[in-house]
Amino acid sequence: MKTVQLLSGEKVPQLGLGTWKMGERGGSKREEIAAVQLAIDLGMTLIDTAEMYGEGGSEKMIAEAISGRRDKLFLVSKIYPHNASRTNTQVACERSLRRLNTDRIDLYLLHWRGRPPLSETMEAFQKLKADGKIRHYGVSNLDTSDMEELWGVDGGPLTQVNQVYYNPAARGIEFDLLPWQRKHRVPIMAYSPVDQAKLATDRTLAAIGKRHSATAAQVALAWGLRHPDSIVIPKAVKPEHLRQNAAALDIKLTPEDLAEIDKAFPPPKKKQRMEMT
């Protein structure tokens, strides 16, 4: 598994598993547990979840899936913005810890910006880190101006990642956010890297994939993985999709491939509003 180095110096898997919409239906639980376990076997030991996903259902499902394997994993969870105040962050984190059946979260993220000031959230995150309940912290869905503000508050420059919506069809962050994060050595964590499966049927990506004996979805993943400082977290449940995701790490897109993608999905020429799902 290729890795990405965080600001802390720790290296984490470049390809992980997203679990949005998992843990919501009891009838899918067995299949989802098997998916998490197969992802781990394939080297995707970075598992991303959130208290929002199934209102804790995803965290509970993951707890069952990782029983006996916790020490091999890098667990990421996210806090609701309305919980990210000085007083409520501790309570929300402890709930996630109980649901995940673990004593620490490896990376704890602010899911998106809400009413509590960033200074309060950072203060609370630093306390959780000092208490050993989280190992690192970061943010999600913060734009360039938010990141600049974050860097001005105590603890802000210890932010390890910004998890954002990024794929060939959603490239707005390339105009200013991605350069800003590279300058400050903050990796992005790309969610919905196949645009919620929409890119799996894209003709341009399929044509490129044919040259690599790959699917359009694999080309979309390879496009995101081409950045050595980007972590990519596709959601998958079916075994064949999980195996295809892992195989995308071996796809080397050529300059001609990238030019075709740029033609079909032009990079931004001006500031765009941050996209979220």
Q: Which fold has domain 11-264?
A: TIM Barrel (3.20.20)
How is residue 20 written in tokens? Answer: 């949005």
How is residue 58 written in tokens? Answer: 């995803």
- 226 CB-near residues (< 8 Å, 6+ apart): 253, 258
Is residue 191 annotated as part of the catalytic site, yes or no? no
Using alpha carbons, select from 72, 2, 77 the residue that is nearest to residue 37.
Answer: 72
pLDDT at 25: 79
Counting every residue written for the chain, the total comes to 277
pLDDT at 40: 97
Catalytic residue among 53, 137, 166, 191, which? 53
What would the DSSP string read from start to end of 78-112? EE-GGG-STTHHHHHHHHHHHHHT-S-EEEEEE-S
How is residue 4 written in tokens? Answer: 């990405």
pLDDT at 56: 95
**What's the rounded Cα separation, in Å, for the pair 167 and 150?**
25
Q: pTM score > 0.85 for this model?
A: yes
pLDDT at 208: 98
Name the residue ranges covered by the structural domains of the chain: 11-264
**Chunked in runs of 10, what are the mean pLDDT values of the chain (277 residues)?**
96 97 86 97 98 96 96 97 96 98 98 97 98 98 98 97 98 97 97 96 98 98 96 97 98 98 97 89
Q: What SS3 state is found at 5?
A: strand
